[in-house]
Amino acid sequence: MTEIDQNIDLMNAQFQNFDAAVKAAGSLETEASSDILAIQSSEIDRSLSGYDYELPAERIAQTPLSQRDGSRLLVVESPTHHTHRIFHELPQLLRTGDLLVLNDTRVIPARLYGCKSTGAPVEILLLEEREQNCWLALVKPGRRLKPGAKILFEPQRHTGNSPTVSSGLGRESPLLPAFSATVLARDETTKGRLLQFNIPHGESFEALLEQYGHVPLPPYITSAQASLEQYQTIYAHTPGAIAAPTAGLHFTEKLLEQCEERGIRTAFVTLHVGVGTFRPVEVDDITHHKMHSEWLEVPQLTVEQIRETKASGGRVIAVGTTVVRSLEGAAVEGELQPFRGKTELFIYPGYQWQVVDGMITNFHLPRSTLLMLVSAMIGRQRLLELYQDAIAHDYRFYSFGDAMLILPEARNLIRC
């Protein structure tokens, strides 16, 4: 080899080393940039302002559709792709062997109107029963109801300021028994009151509630033309919720039959929707938010159905955020177990999923814990982009609105 050839070989080796160094530096720079973006994304995911979006008022559904399963369905099929369908197409969108888990809670007529002994009007929203005939409730105006105050309830009072659906029972009878409650104490967690209800001899609290109570609707529903049954799922069974598990409102008997015919099974849990679902997040760092507890039950039969589904390669599809909280709350120890009690589980981006593979959900309010829960499954930015597309396609939002199906293939399994 001549000296010239040796110099050429040396120069080629130097260029190769230089190229390798450049590539290595570029790789380090890319990794560093990715890490910075990940940190920034994580910070935004923890920030309350990261869950804001603007919704035109006309997109808030005020009345349910006459055909439950005629609502629109935004199907999230992958991290980058989604389609627009109709809810009655659901059986074709799932697989044989999948398991739909539904919440069988039933909404109670939890809003009561009454007055103090002075005649001043009072409004009550029941939250949960603490002891027999003793309930935690939100009251308005609260500052006037100190321990010892007595409230006399009125069976036919209704105001347009608080949207309700009347229970429809006992409204025509002029012989309703007296129904009253006494304020026992103030609850610091909810700012509500503990009320001891005074039940006349021979009466029951449940019967009086049907005669005096109204089923409460969320405050963003201001002009609803809905019957009581339209704000209940068709499989509502266990009384105790103050709001409907709205993802389930889209199901009909026929649709469930079609699912069964295709080998898609159903299972049930109970979670009584309470103030925990709607309590606003008031801290800038969402990880500091504390959920109010909600009562739930995941029965042994449902646990067995889930285990069988997963063992045979099927997917667990939660119908609504309440089912998500129920199943994941019953698996906080790392394995799903039968559970009966309260949960304070708060799911937000970064959560490690234990049970749920996919979900059906409605479109939720900005800055809500429900929006954060769905973000934990597909990523906050991805979810907000889907919401903008739904708005652009005139979807109906919130309780009486349209739905979203998140298939397991769409989950953000790397980073949320």
| pLDDT for the residue 70 | 98
Q: With pLDDT > 90 as the criterion, what percentage of the chain qualifies?
A: 70
pLDDT number for residue 228: 78
pLDDT at 393 exceeding the cut of 80: yes
Round to whole Å and give the CA distance between 295 and 293: 7
Q: Structure pTM?
A: 0.85
Using one digit for the tens of pLDDT, what is the confidence trace for 109-133?
A: 999 999 998 899 999 999 999 999 9
Using CA atoms, how far residue 79 sits from 134, 336, 381, in Å, is 48, 27, 11
Domain with CATH 3.40.1780.10 in the chain: 48-107+226-410
- The helix-helix angle for 3-46 and 380-392 (nearest 10°) equals 70
Bond into 163 cis (ω within 30): no
Contact 325, 294 (CB under 8 A): yes
Three-state DSSP class for 298? strand
Report the alpha-carbon distance of residue 410 to residue 301 in Å, rounded.
Answer: 28
232-244: per-residue pLDDT in tens?
999 999 999 999 9
Is the pLDDT score of 176 beyond 90? no
Residue 30 pLDDT:
44
Model confidence at 167, pLDDT cuts 50, 70, 90, reads low
Q: State the pLDDT at residue 23.
A: 46
Name residue 45's amino acid. Answer: D
User: Who wins on pLDDT, 154 or 32?
Assistant: 154
Which one, of 84, 67, 68, 66, lies nearest residue 76 by Cα? 84
pLDDT of residue 224: 73
User: Cα(302)–Cα(327) distance, rounded to whole angstroms?
Assistant: 10
DSSP 72-103: EEEEE-SSS-EEEEEGGGHHHHS-TT-EEEEE
Q: Which position has the higher pLDDT, 227 or 379?
A: 379
For residues 336 and 330, the answer to whether their CB atoms sit within 8 Å is: yes
Q: What is the mean pLDDT of residues 298-327?
A: 98
Q: What ranges in 47-154 are assigned the alpha helix state H?
A: 90-93
Under the banding of pLDDT at 50, 70 and 90, the label for residue 164 is low
**Residue 159 reports pLDDT greater than 60:** no
**In the prediction, which pLDDT does 165 show?**
59
**Structure confidence at residue 333 as a pLDDT band (50, 70, 90):** confident
Name the percent of the chain lying above pLDDT 70.
84
pLDDT above 70: residue 175: no
Q: Is pLDDT larger for residue 269 or for residue 174?
A: 269
Question: Is 50 exceeded by the pLDDT of residue 414?
Answer: no
pLDDT category at 166 given cuts 50, 70, 90 is low
Q: Which CATH superfamily is domain 111-212 in?
A: QueA-like (2.40.10.240)
Flag the least confident range among 84-93, 180-189, 297-306.
180-189
pLDDT-wise least confident of 2-16, 127-141, 173-187, 203-217: 2-16
- Which residue type occupies 178? A
The pairing of strands 99-103 and 316-319 is: parallel
Q: What pLDDT score does 238 carry? A: 96
Handedness of CA 383, 324, 87, 280 (dihedral sign): negative
Kindly tell me if the per-residue pLDDT of 7 is higher than 90: no
- Angle of CA points 202, 204, 207, to nearest 5°: 120
pLDDT in tens, 56-106: 999 999 999 999 999 999 999 999 999 999 999 999 999 999 999 999 999
Average pLDDT over the chain, rounded to an integer: 87
pLDDT band at residue 275 using 50, 70 and 90 as cut-offs: confident
- Residue 33: what pLDDT? 43
| Most confident segment among 76-80, 161-165, 190-194, 410-414 | 76-80
- pLDDT tier at 29, thresholds 50, 70, 90: very low
Structure tokens at 172: 């025509």
What DSSP letter does each residue of 350-415 carry, written as one string? T---SS--EEEEE---TT-HHHHHHHHHH-HHHHHHHHHHHHHTT--BSTTS-EEEE-GGG---S-
Q: Where in the chain is the domain with CATH 2.40.10.240?
A: 111-212
CATH fold label, 48-107+226-410: QueA-like (3.40.1780)
**Residue 21, pLDDT above cutoff 70:** no
Other C-beta atoms closer than 10 Å to the C-beta of 142 total 15
pLDDT reading at 226 higher than 80: no
